[in-house]
């Protein structure tokens, strides 16, 4: 079992940056693929970024590619989402997710979830 706790959300002006953190307990994240999903008000949850446990495979949604970076620190058992050049449309609750590493697409099948952290970008 993996427990995930997100932090780092908040209110930021358009063009600003935030770094979200996802601290894991219960298992070593080094054996887990991880992802950041987001859900804006009135919209379906979408995958923003994902990373295989080695970091060799990554995925970014078109809407965030070039602005967001997912990374991991196995020593700290923590995954990060660096968000730059933020836009009002990035406003959402951001969720960290994890799964035991697999050869399957890193876009799917995450059984472990955090509680979410709110990111609000003002124009």
Q: How far apart are CA 71 and CA 49, in angstroms?
A: 10
Q: What is the pLDDT of residues 15-26, one digit of tens each?
A: 999 999 999 987
Evaluate whether 30 touches 74 at the Cβ level (below 8 Å): yes
Q: What is the pLDDT of residues 91-117, one digit of tens each?
A: 999 999 999 988 889 998 999 999 999
Q: What is the pLDDT of residues 17-64, one digit of tens each?
A: 999 999 998 777 778 999 999 999 999 999 999 999 889 999 999 999
Token pair listed for 43:
């919209």
Q: Is the pLDDT of residue 71 over 90?
A: yes
Interstrand relation of 117-122 and 92-100 (parallel, antiparallel or unpaired): antiparallel
Q: How far is CA 37 from CA 7, 16, 68, 110, 123, in A?
A: 14, 20, 12, 10, 22
Q: Across the chain, what does the average pLDDT equal?
A: 94
Evaluate whether 121 touches 12 at the Cβ level (below 8 Å): yes
């Amino acid at each position: 079992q993996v427990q995930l706790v997100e932090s780092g959300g908040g209110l930021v002006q358009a063009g600003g940056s935030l770094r979200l953190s996802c601290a894991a307990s219960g298992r070593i994240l080094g054996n887990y693929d991880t992802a950041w999903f987001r859900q804006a008000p009135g919209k379906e949850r979408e995958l923003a970024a994902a990373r295989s446990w080695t970091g060799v495979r990554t995925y970014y949604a078109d809407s965030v590619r070039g602005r967001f970076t997912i990374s991991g620190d196995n020593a700290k058992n923590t995954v990060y989402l660096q968000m730059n050049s933020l836009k009002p449309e990035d406003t959402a609750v951001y969720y960290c997710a994890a799964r035991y590493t697999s050869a399957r697409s890193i876009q799917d099948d995450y059984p472990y979830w955090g509680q979410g952290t709110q990111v609000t970008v003002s124009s």
